[in-house]
Structure 1
Amino acid sequence: MITMIAAAAENNALGKNGEIPWHLPDDFRHFKKLTTGHHIIMGRKTWESFPKPLPNRTHVVITRDKQYNPPGATVVHSLEDALAYCKQEAHTFIIGGGEIYKLGMPYATHIELTRVHNEYAADAFFPEIPESEWQLVNSTFHDVDDKHKSGFTFQSWKRK
């Protein structure tokens, strides 16, 4: 199973200048719950946005830079190489960024999307989910509260 997991605004914004424009603690918990114990595939910019490797996950970083060798990650040079590295895993997650999600769409079997109910200026975007190819199988709304300045919905999609 290959799952793309992301939080994206109504306009599909993911972030700008390597920063996420919202703070949603329940989304962080959701991400941690789903990805802990699994391989996570990401681009170099996503990797570099973390202060340190995420605990209890195998980090697979895609970059064109043949010299790139950060501690705590396995480096590959294409999404196909990343998927080959993870092929023995029952469940692998693609965690971003925008270009990696675009590349991953044809390979994904599932999407876990946190839809943030606002629009933001961004330089990275989640790709459109073609509803002719995908079915929304679960949707859970979370309203604004004292810890969440934006409402959001956890959406689970499965390829038809």
Structure 2
Amino acid sequence: MTNRLDLPEITWHRVSPRYIVVDVVGGLVFALIVVGAGAAVAYFTGLTWLWIVVAAVALVFVIALALTPRRVRSIGYQLRDDDVLFRRGILYQRFVAVPYGRMQLVDINRGPLDRALGLSELKFVTAAAATGVVIPGLAEADAEELRDRLVALAESRRAGL
């Protein structure tokens, strides 16, 4: 018996491996701020036990950063006949199917590090807030092509064609 979420018949489109750099740098900057602030508090208060908490938080960040390549490889999408299927996650997997006719907004975002690496983030939303989907780490040309295709499919489905 196969798990329905395994979806063996689906070939997933993956995000760019360069997105690992974006995710690691973002996580590293956040980790340095949090651990640095904790270390400053521990230093100025002189509480020895607080250093143990700072070390534990640093260890959690190291583990999270080590899992980043696997987490990025788990992100994928598939254009099907009536909807786009999106997945992400290792331990807690999320699968979202968004019907083309329900899409209201398809947007492309590029942060500074994304632009430097030639990547984009594609975001599409429906009227239901829970189905907002963000596909990070797409090559700029792929993101623009996917946006145009999704908009065309959404328009044709809403028009009933």
Q: Give yes or no for TM over 0.5.
A: no
Name the larger-Rg structure: 2
* TM class, shorter-length: under 0.3
Q: What TM-score results when the alignment is normalised by the length of structure 2?
A: 0.23
Q: Which has a greater percent of helix?
A: 2
Larger relative contact order (Cα-Cα within 8 Å, sequence gap ≥ 6): 1
